[in-house]
């Protein structure tokens, strides 16, 4: 088994995803599997068209869900673009959420964005997006914002740990996906465990943790959706999007070896000469 941690970096969503695919493919045991993969994306709002086209072609050929469909499970960009604010977006999504879960078997246990705006909790559904935006705005209104640490309990998002008033650590604002007592399957949804946001002098960084990531079936769409989520929260709070870091407990390249070789040969030139 390949158990050594691997860290890859990309300047864009596209190059970071491609570098992750290459790293897992070239893992020492050649099983197209790697544990503790860390992917760091400098500019999570940018793509490289040639790499995106190669990724679209591969997922279509293998019969996987389109990249845009996967990205929308994390952040529904079109719905957000036609919503007045984050509250309106959450309200609209909650109204269609039961239909989304009923019409698509893949969504029967929920979607990631559904867990963000309607997380099942002991006291009823909890809108973690509204809570995140509220706390960021409160922190930003404070003269000389304190670098306090805020955390939410996994089983009841929104319950805050006692802040550390004089801590020198950056603000840590997590959004949880896992629901205790409901997500009992050893496989499948949710593979994304939580998202954590860090405030850094006018920039907002984000860390997303996956217990398992299928880099071909869902990887590019996951990176894309997370980048959109970070961009939206940043824009809503008047911040600049910073780095997106994605941690996968186990990462797999779920495609035949010959197609990965073709993907990398077609896309590496685009990565080297992209924007």
Structural domain boundaries in the chain: 6-273
Euclidean distance between CA atoms 159 and 162, whole angstroms: 10
| Alpha-helical runs (H) found in the chain | 13-25, 49-61, 67-74, 77-81, 86-103, 112-117, 128-141, 220-236, 257-273
Contact criterion met (CB below 8 Å) for 55 and 271: no
State if pTM tops 0.75. yes
Percentage of residues in the chain having pLDDT higher than 90? 52
Q: Check pLDDT > 50 for residue 112.
A: yes
Over residues 124-130, the mean pLDDT reads 86
Over residues 195-212, the mean pLDDT reads 90
CA distances from 211 to 1, 225, 247 (A): 17, 17, 8
What is the structure's pLDDT at 107? 75
CATH topology of domain 6-273: Thymidylate Synthase; Chain A (3.30.572)
Q: Check pLDDT > 60 for residue 256.
A: yes
Nearest to 55 by CA among 268, 267, 270: 267
What is the tens place of the pLDDT at every residue in 61-109?
999 999 999 999 999 999 999 999 999 999 999 999 988 888 877 777 7
Q: Check pLDDT > 70 for residue 183.
A: no
What is the structure's pLDDT at 144? 64
Q: Which of 55-64, 70-79, 126-135, 216-225 has the lowest mean pLDDT?
A: 126-135
């Amino acid at each position: 088994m390949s158990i050594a941690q691997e860290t890859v970096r990309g300047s864009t969503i596209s190059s970071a995803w491609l570098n992750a695919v290459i790293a897992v493919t070239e893992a020492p045991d050649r099983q197209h599997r790697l544990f503790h993969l860390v992917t760091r994306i400098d500019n999570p709002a940018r793509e490289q068209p040639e790499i995106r086209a190669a990724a679209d072609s591969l997922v279509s050929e293998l019969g996987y869900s389109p990249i845009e469909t996967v990205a929308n499970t994390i952040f529904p960009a079109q719905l957000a673009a036609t919503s007045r604010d984050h509250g309106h977006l959450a309200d609209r999504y909650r109204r269609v959420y039961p239909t989304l879960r009923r019409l698509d078997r893949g969504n029967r246990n929920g979607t990631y964005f559904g867990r963000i705006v309607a997380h099942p909790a002991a006291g009823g559904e909890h809108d973690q997006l509204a809570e995140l935006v509220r706390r960021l705005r409160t922190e930003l209104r404070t003269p000389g914002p304190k670098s306090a640490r805020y955390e939410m309990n996994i089983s009841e998002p929104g319950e805050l740990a006692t802040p550390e008033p004089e801590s020198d650590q950056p603000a840590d604002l997590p959004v949880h996906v896992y629901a205790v007592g409901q997500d009992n399957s050893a496989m499948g949804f949710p593979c994304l465990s939580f998202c954590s946001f860090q405030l850094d002098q006018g920039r907002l960084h984000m860390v997303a943790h996956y217990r398992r990531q299928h880099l071909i079936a869902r990887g590019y769409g996951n990176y894309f959706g997370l980048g959109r989520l970070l961009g939206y929260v940043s824009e809503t709070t008047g911040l600049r999007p910073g780095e997106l870091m994605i941690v996968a407990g186990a990462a797999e390249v779920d495609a035949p070896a010959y197609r990965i070789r073709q993907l990398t040969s077609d896309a590496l030139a685009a990565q080297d000469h992209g924007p």
